[in-house]
Amino acid sequence: MNKTDITNLVTVLIMAYGYSNGNDVIFMVGLFALSGAVTNTLAIHMLFEKVPFLYGSGVIESKFSVFKSSIHSMIMNQFFTEQNLTKFFQEEVNSAKNTIDFEKILNRTDFTPAYNSLKESVIESPFGGMLGMFGGEAALEPLKEPFVKKLQASIISITSSQAFQEVVNESLKSEDLSADIHQKLSLIVSARLEELTPKMVKELVQELIKEHLTWLVIWGAVFGGLIGLVSSLIA
């Protein structure tokens, strides 16, 4: 069982205990806690899955084209600039290597724009309003580091592939080195990103952040339980 299942089970047990013992306060705490936990559980599900007749659900898949475009723009405008390529390839050519290692540059590349693109998609979705109860955009910040590391590793893998290296080695023969390489690398990056499907993007993002989002279920139960307690005391 994961944290979500455990949280929902605990809230049901609290509610059942209060009901069976005739304790209205405990029953209301459990009821409101269950309501908060289930609501957030459904919200997380809707973030990744398209639910019929529920507008705004499945936002991760629906925004996949924006996500891919952001990654392409980041790679070509921050990493594969003509200025960086000219300097970098001159050093690599002088070293007479058969393959070129981009990892040392990628390790210094800022992947924040890709994360910001994902964050904006979440904030602009119906799920974004719910985040306001849990700190707004700040609630998503713990997701940044694991997301950036995963994305960085994926791009390093792309640049080390045989197809990528063949394009680079062919372009090294061009007189207009940086411009030729920049154009060809843009095409191959676009081609590799086009291989991504909405489902693949959803699964990538889901793997990165879903575990962290389960805390929203836990806090939904906690705050729901507190609201139930206050409501029962006032009543």
Least confident of 2-16, 45-59, 75-89, 94-108: 94-108
- Given a cut of 80, whether residue 35 has pLDDT beyond it is yes
DSSP 220: H
Token pair listed for 136: 């707004």
Task: Find the angle CA(79)-CA(81)-CA(82) to the nearest 5 degrees.
Answer: 145
Q: 173 pLDDT exceeds 60?
A: no
Domain range list for the chain: 3-234
Query: Would you state the pLDDT for residue 135?
Result: 64
Per-residue confidence (pLDDT) for residue 44, from 0 to 100: 79
Nearest to 217 by CA among 46, 54, 34: 34
Secondary structure of residue 173 in the 3-state scheme: coil
pLDDT confidence bin for 170, thresholds 50/70/90? low
Give the predicted TM-score (pTM) of the model: 0.46
Could you tell me which residues come within 8 angstroms of residue 81 by beta carbon, excluding any fewer than 6 positions away?
Answer: 182
Quick: pLDDT tens for 101-145.
Answer: 677 777 777 778 777 777 777 777 766 666 666 666 676 777 778
Q: CA-CA distance, 156 to 133, in Å (whole number)?
A: 37
